[in-house]
Chains A and B, each alone.
Chain A
């Protein structure tokens, strides 16, 4: 009894002193709780379907940020990882009869291989050249897929895959929990030493090399890590939609990922995730005017960019929180003094 009381009080202290002091943390906790508790409120298949797809794409957008945001290796062909993951999972499931829990990670591994294959030629390129070159890879694969309709199903894709699980609610929990776990892992990676080296590679690669760090290894690592997460999301997508088609490799797919990530704010991980959770349901909402849907999507992106070129979520965060000039701890914007070192916050 005493032990239980101790843990309750400890937990209460953590919530009061660590979570409630910062609005961004409150929002994060509320977001996770809402996602996990949503099936209690509604079991509408359509709402769940949208949220499942949103979660899948959130993993994809965050993985783009891990590679292109952090290391600055602009990847315009992120659909390659997604498509490789989807097609590998689909073919393994259909021909070798590996169940989804096996085929999805294997799809991720195939995407890691793809990451290494495109990472090696791309190591010598930088900036815009890299962006334009990576754009080519999904299109090369798309051409091969169209040319070999016997194996890949051509334009129709590979269909008739096993379901993720037996019920829509189970699907929902699998994807949402997986999304939360994978995004936390990505966030942890970017917060670690490796993440700091990624940051440094973006800022000044020459200086990192001069500091005795093998940047080639770290860049390839970023390509494979990002490929793995994107491949997993591709596999999830294939098993949820029960089809892996050429649409997973199209240019518009790569562009959409870039739009999500930059719209939400790069080099944050939470930015792209938040952006997908705003933009994807918004696109569904626009379905009431089907012919204006994509136009309005483009319009929203253009207008928001004019006012928040750094991305939506970092902009909001800067409005509600300020960084203490002395100890670099974040505080809620309404405070006059820092909550840790009591320095003035102006």
Chain B
């Protein structure tokens, strides 16, 4: 029981952490609330399904193809639909919603609404006191840690990361310092969608794919971002695991828990906001909130 809770909490927490960090990267740099973020995650999962089940290649190749293809699709969508209306906050909002719905409908047309699944990268499991721990679960968790570390290096130790952070802090001044604002936004979009694609790739073997699988992670991702404080990677990390564990505790301990998991996690977010409106690790900017 306890081990079940720990495993489920770790896995869903890791997924939420990756999604939330990707979401905050593009929000911080370009002030774009990308509702379609988790739709890209869904797209990546289906991409793997297509490469492995329909074309018959190995899962690893599927993951690579998913990462590259989804990132390209994301950049294309950004260039075509989001960039021209970037100045209009409301328009961007419903533009990304429409984009997400369009992707969902495409997948619905292409793969129908049937539940499908993807083979895991490494098969098999070992048992710890009667609980099965799949190698795929360990692999997913390890991959998440590696990706998070790589992202930290990218943001903190490279010139590109410096540019991204500078633009996030003050777009106009960064522009005056000679950073190409729209190019930085484009790169940030690439990083953000790439993160969504990786998340989809690592979680695909552990979950069931449907074209509607983006809805629940979207809500939880937004809750994580608000809970942890927007733009704070440390906050997203902590918030994601808090909500992930809250969800798994509710599912395993309360009868009817599967229905209530979202409610309880979101109530925790609202309670934290009542005490600390800027989130756990957020810094309150005067004009931001």
Contacts and interface: CB of A to CB of B under 8 A. Distances in A.
Interface of A: 74, 121, 124-129, 131-133, 135-137, 139-144, 146-147, 251-252, 255, 258-259, 262-263, 266, 291-292, 294-295, 297-299, 301-302, 305-306, 309-310
A262 B260 contact: no
A135 B102 contact: no
A337 B153 CA distance: 64
Q: How large is the interface on B (under 10, 10 to 19, 20 to 34, 35 or more residues)?
A: 35 or more
Contact of B91 (A126, A142, A305): A305
B99 interface: yes
B274 interface: yes
B106 interface: yes
Given A124-B273, A139-B262, A262-B91, 13 more contacts: A125-B273, A129-B279, A132-B226, A133-B226, A136-B266, A139-B219, A144-B263, A147-B260, A263-B94, A295-B106, A302-B98, A306-B81, A310-B91
B102 A302 contact: yes
Nearest to A297: B101
A163 B105 CA distance: 35
B109 A298 contact: no
A108 to B, nearest CB: 24
Interface in B97-155: 97-99, 101-102, 104-106, 108-109
Q: Report whether over half of chain A's contact residues are helix, strand or loop; otherwise say mixed.
A: helix
Contacts of B90: 262, 266
Given A143-B260, A309-B88, A136 B99 contact: no
B94 A305 contact: yes
A299 B102 contact: yes
Contacts of B215: 251-252
B22 to A, nearest CB: 15
Q: Report whether over half of chain B's contact residues are helix, strand or loop; otherwise say mixed.
A: helix
Contacts of A292: 105, 109
A74 B104 CA distance: 25
Contact of A258 (B94, B262, B266): B94
A38 B226 CA distance: 48
A215 B289 CA distance: 15
Contacts of A305: 81, 85, 91, 94-95, 98
Contacts of B289: 124-127, 129
A140 B223 CA distance: 12
A121 B274 CA distance: 6
Contacts of B94: 258-259, 262-263, 301, 305
A249 to B, nearest CB: 12
B105 A294 contact: yes
A131 B260 contact: no
Contacts of A294: 101, 104-105
B256 A259 contact: no
